A = this chain, B = another copy of it.
Amino acid sequence: MNRTDYIQAAEAHCERRGCKLTALRRQVLELVLRHQGVVKAYQVLADLQKERGIAAPPTVYRALDFLVEQGLLHRVDALNGFVVCDHFECQHESMILVCETCGKVQEVDVMAALAGLHDVADAADFTLSRQNLTLTGLCKACRI
Which of B99, B120, B135 touches A108 (beta carbons < 8 Å)?
B120
- A111-125 CB mask vs B (1 if < 8 Å, else 0) is 011111101110111
**A110 interfacial by beta-carbon distance below 8 Å:** yes
**Residues of B close to A117: CB separation below 8 A:** 95, 110, 113, 117, 133, 135
Contact, CB under 8 Å: A135 / B131: yes
What is the minimal beta-carbon distance from A109 to any residue of chain B, in angstroms?
A: 8
- Which stretch from A13-21, A41-49, A56-64, A136-144 is at the chain B interface? A136-144
Given A115-B116, A116-B115, A127-B131 contact (CB < 8 Å): no
Classify the secondary structure of A's interface with B: mixed
Q: Copies of this chain, how many?
A: 2
In the complex, the chain B residue whose C-beta lies closest to that of A131 is B135
If A108-B120, A121-B137 are given as contacts, then 19 extra A-B residue pairs at C-beta distance below 8 Å, sorted by A number, are A77-B134, A95-B117, A97-B121, A97-B124, A99-B126, A106-B124, A110-B117, A110-B120, A113-B117, A113-B119, A115-B116, A117-B133, A126-B140, A127-B137, A128-B136, A128-B137, A129-B137, A131-B135, A131-B136
